[in-house]
């Protein structure tokens, strides 16, 4: 039994006269009284079947029963289409199959949505994902995903990386999210954490002499789901011994360029620009700025120190953006609403209309020197934030992103860049304690080791982020390879030596037994593929994602568990949840 001799998208007019067999799904069926036409589809395309009751009475009877998404096997002769029926938009549009044998291999119930329907509700798409997967968009995205991962694997292989599998069930790895916990039947009351990343294992691989490790690793993080976040996702995880920062960045740039080429796209220019964290925050108000457009934050603190406009004169910091548009009153009111989301209380702005004249309330308060210092082109609006530095940065950074989208400043190009020289620690807003910016295993910048305890806020780190068009693709760092320095970092974070031993004793032991200098990186594969595919969220490039509530509409998971099962695991639910 031969299911098919050719794929549906294959036949061309060169095959006219051949007897071929196709198998696939019914994309469309048209009954013209006598003749029945069926578009038969597989992932390669569509071939038109013609069933003529005079030529093939039995297939004609079968064809009358056929509905969309039935699975058929059709056998017949390739014939040219009449000139008026040629479809130039279809690769198989010059021929059709004159059917001599037709078999229904599988039937389909009425469908919850048609495959060519647009704007189908996402939960419905995910509930019936097997139908959604048949559509061109998902086929294209999942196949692109395969091409990208294959290319990454081959780059890694060429560069001498070894694929090592690391456990999913482990002890918590601090990557800044909550852990998913797994109760253990054999040891009631004890839990594994699902790895937020293979971080410590990959470092142990370096200490274990593997030299270059990589993995397309699954990671689990219990955090709110968003366009670029799922509970579980995969990342290109890698680690290298005896390297400096530049060597790690070079590997990533090669992976990105290779993946672009594999996807048939012009690769971005290498090396990618480097931007310091300080510059990124000051100039763009974000540690992952979209650099497809300039729109830099400018400073007016000095020029407004003696301003008649009290808000400016008294604010610790006054900064502004020059939007390339003279906004109307209504547009400004809308912007004000947007800016409020980032905590902007009052909006100060200056509109310079097309004739160059200054409009707006604060204009009259400004001295000549202020007006001169705030000169801008006609047809622009200066949007000010006057407050403490953090608020100003947050508000103008948010507004910059908003304006980039709203005024379509992004253009078509792609900009990759690195953000480097992050601070090693930041203050935890709720506890006031020092905490890590990346993770606690990140090494300080050379020469900053002593600052870890003497001036934590002044210590810079060897952490780096890769940004593509304003999306953070991934992070990495050169790691601490000395146990004493690792203990000092824990102490600064308020983890006493005994606690550090209890939580990370195995790492401290390993660092004390011949640890090479090492560093690495992890890139979110689905963020990368979504951007490559031009998709707005990673669910479009994942076969079976979860929706934002954290549920899987397809299987209905998560589901409650019977008491007996929970009891066996040593778990009892709080009453209000039962």
Structure tokens at 236: 């290109």
> Could you tell me if 407 and 294 are in contact, meaning their C-beta atoms sit under 8 angstroms apart?
no
Please identify, using beta-carbon distances, which residue of 422 and 434 lies nearer to ligand ASP: 422
Min dist. Cβ of residue 491 to ligand ASP (A):
21
Identify which range of 71-79, 116-124, 451-459, 470-478 contacts ligand ASP by CB under 6 A: 470-478
- Residue whose structure tokens are 């050169």: 478
- Residue whose structure tokens are 């204009």: 363
Q: Which of 45, 456, 476, 545 binds ligand ASP (CB under 6 A)?
A: 476
Q: Which of 230, 376, 475, 537 binds ligand ASP (CB under 6 A)?
A: 475
Per CB under 6 A, does 199 bind ligand ASP?
Answer: yes
Please identify, using beta-carbon distances, which residue of 175 and 406 lies nearer to ligand ASP: 175
Long-range contacts formed by 405-411: CB under 8 A, 24+ apart: 407/323, 407/324, 407/325, 409/292, 409/293, 409/295, 409/324, 410/290, 410/292, 410/293, 410/469, 411/292, 411/293
Query: What residues numbered 296-315 form the site for ligand ASP, per CB under 6 A?
Result: none
Per CB under 6 A, does 380 bind ligand ASP?
Answer: no
Min dist. Cβ of residue 438 to ligand ASP (A):
6
Structure tokens at 179: 């852990």
Please identify, using beta-carbon distances, which residue of 307 and 477 lies nearer to ligand ASP: 477
> Could you tell me if 238 and 219 are in contact, meaning their C-beta atoms sit under 8 angstroms apart?
no
> Could you tell me if 276 and 421 are in contact, meaning their C-beta atoms sit under 8 angstroms apart?
yes
Q: Is the dihedral of CA 128, 129, 131, 132 positive or negative?
A: positive
Identify which range of 8-16, 159-167, 334-342, 471-479 contacts ligand ASP by CB under 6 A: 471-479
CA dihedral defined by 313, 318, 322, 323, rounded to 10 degrees? -100
Min dist. Cβ of residue 269 to ligand ASP (A):
25
Per CB under 6 A, does 477 bind ligand ASP?
Answer: yes
Binding mask 421-460 for ligand ASP (x = CB under 6 A): ----------------------------------------
Please identify, using beta-carbon distances, which residue of 175 and 552 lies nearer to ligand ASP: 175
Min dist. Cβ of residue 145 to ligand ASP (A):
19
DSSP string, 30-98: EEETTEEEEEEEETTEEEEEEE-TTT-HHHHHHHHH--TT-EEEEEEEEEEPPGGG--TTSTTTTEEEE
Q: Which of 521, 525, 530, 537 binds ligand ASP (CB under 6 A)?
A: 521
CA–CA gap between residue 125 and residue 61 (Å, rounded): 33
CA–CA gap between residue 276 and residue 525 (Å, rounded): 24
Identify which range of 222-230, 332-340, 344-352, 474-482 contacts ligand ASP by CB under 6 A: 474-482
| Residues in CB range of 328: below 8 A, 6 or more apart | none
CA–CA gap between residue 102 and residue 115 (Å, rounded): 23
Please identify, using beta-carbon distances, which residue of 130 and 165 lies nearer to ligand ASP: 165
Per CB under 6 A, does 461 bind ligand ASP?
Answer: no
Min dist. Cβ of residue 475 to ligand ASP (A):
5
Per CB under 6 A, does 197 bind ligand ASP?
Answer: yes
| Residues linked to residue 274 through DSSP beta bridges, in sequence order | 418
Query: What residues numbered 143-182 form the site for ligand ASP, per CB under 6 A?
Result: 175
Per CB under 6 A, does 520 bind ligand ASP?
Answer: yes
Per rule CB under 6 A, count of chain residues that contact ligand ASP? 9
CA–CA gap between residue 7 and residue 245 (Å, rounded): 48
| Residues in CB range of 37: below 8 A, 6 or more apart | 29, 30, 48, 49, 50, 51, 96
Per CB under 6 A, does 213 bind ligand ASP?
Answer: no
Min dist. Cβ of residue 76 to ligand ASP (A):
54
Per CB under 6 A, does 488 bind ligand ASP?
Answer: no
Identify which range of 21-29, 135-143, 260-268, 475-483 contacts ligand ASP by CB under 6 A: 475-483
Query: Across the chain, which distance is largest between two alpha carbons, in Å?
Result: 95
Min dist. Cβ of residue 479 to ligand ASP (A):
8
| Residues in CB range of 429: below 8 A, 6 or more apart | none
Per CB under 6 A, does 522 bind ligand ASP?
Answer: yes
CA–CA gap between residue 511 and residue 319 (Å, rounded): 46
Min dist. Cβ of residue 240 to ligand ASP (A):
10
Per CB under 6 A, does 381 bind ligand ASP?
Answer: no
Min dist. Cβ of residue 379 to ligand ASP (A):
43
Structure tokens at 441: 């295993």
> Which residues of the shown chain bind ligand ASP in the complex (CB under 6 A)?
175, 197, 199, 475-477, 520-522
């Amino acid at each position: 039994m031969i299911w098919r001799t050719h794929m549906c998208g294959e036949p061309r007019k060169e095959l006219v006269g051949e007897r071929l067999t196709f198998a696939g799904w019914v994309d469309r069926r048209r009954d013209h009284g006598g003749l029945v036409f069926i578009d038969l589809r597989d992932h390669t395309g569509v071939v038109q079947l013609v069933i003529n009751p005079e030529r093939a009475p039995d297939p004609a009877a079968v064809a009358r029963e056929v509905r969309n998404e039935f699975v058929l096997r059709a056998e017949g002769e390739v014939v040219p289409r009449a000139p008026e029926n040629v479809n130039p938009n279809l690769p198989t549009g010059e021929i059709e199959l004159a059917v001599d044998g037709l078999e229904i291999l599988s039937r389909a119930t009425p469908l919850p949505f048609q495959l060519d329907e647009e704007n189908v509700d996402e939960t419905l798409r995910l509930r019936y994902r097997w139908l959604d997967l048949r559509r061109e968009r998902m086929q294209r995205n999942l196949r692109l995903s395969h091409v990208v991962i294959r290319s990454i694997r081959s780059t890694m292989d060429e560069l001498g990386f070894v694929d090592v599998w690391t456990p999913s069930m482990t002890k918590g790895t601090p990557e800044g999210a909550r852990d998913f916990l797994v109760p253990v039947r054999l040891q009631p009351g004890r839990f594994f954490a699902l790895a937020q990343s293979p971080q410590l294992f990959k470092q142990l691989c370096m200490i274990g002499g593997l030299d270059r490790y990589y993995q397309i690793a699954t990671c689990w993080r219990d955090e709110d789901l968003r366009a670029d976040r799922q509970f579980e996702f995969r990342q290109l995880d890698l680690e290298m011994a005896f390297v400096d920062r530049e060597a790690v960045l070079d590997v990533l740039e090669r992976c990105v360029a290779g993946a672009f080429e594999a996807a048939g796209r012009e690769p971005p220019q290498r090396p990618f620009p480097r931007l310091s964290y300080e510059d990124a925050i000051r100039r763009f108000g974000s540690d992952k700025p979209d650099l497809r457009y300039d729109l830099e934050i400018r400073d007016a603190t000095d020029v407004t120190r003696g301003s008649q406009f009290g808000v400016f004169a008294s604010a610790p910091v006054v900064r502004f953006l020059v939007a390339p548009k003279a906004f109307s009153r209504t547009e400004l009111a809308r912007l004000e609403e947007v800016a409020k989301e980032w905590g902007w209380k009052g909006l100060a702005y200056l509109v310079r209309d097309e004739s160059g004249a200054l409009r707006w309330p604060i204009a009259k308060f400004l001295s000549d020197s202020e007006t001169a210092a705030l000169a801008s082109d006609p047809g622009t609006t200066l949007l000010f934030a006057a407050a403490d530095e953090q608020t100003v940065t947050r508000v103008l950074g948010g507004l910059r992103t908003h304006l980039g989208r709203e005024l379509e400043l992004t253009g078509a190009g792609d900009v990759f860049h690195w953000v480097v020289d992050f601070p090693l620690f930041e203050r935890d807003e709720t506890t006031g304690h020092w905490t890590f910016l990346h993770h606690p295993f990140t090494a300080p910048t050379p020469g900053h080791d002593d600052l870890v305890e003497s001036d934590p806020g002044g210590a810079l780190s060897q952490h780096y982020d890769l940004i593509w068009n304003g999306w953070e693709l991934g992070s990495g760092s050169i790691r601490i390879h000395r146990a004493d320095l690792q203990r000092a970092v824990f102490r600064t974070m308020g983890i006493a030596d005994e606690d550090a031993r209890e939580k990370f004793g195995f790492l401290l032991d390993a660092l004390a037994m011949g640890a090479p200098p090492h560093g690495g990186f992890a890139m979110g594969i689905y963020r990368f593929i979504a951007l490559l595919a031009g998709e707005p969220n990673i669910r479009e490039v994942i076969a079976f994602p979860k929706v934002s509530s954290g549920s899987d509409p397809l299987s209905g998971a998560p589901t409650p568990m019977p008491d007996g099962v929970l009891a066996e695991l040593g778990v009892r639910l709080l009453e209000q949840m039962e």
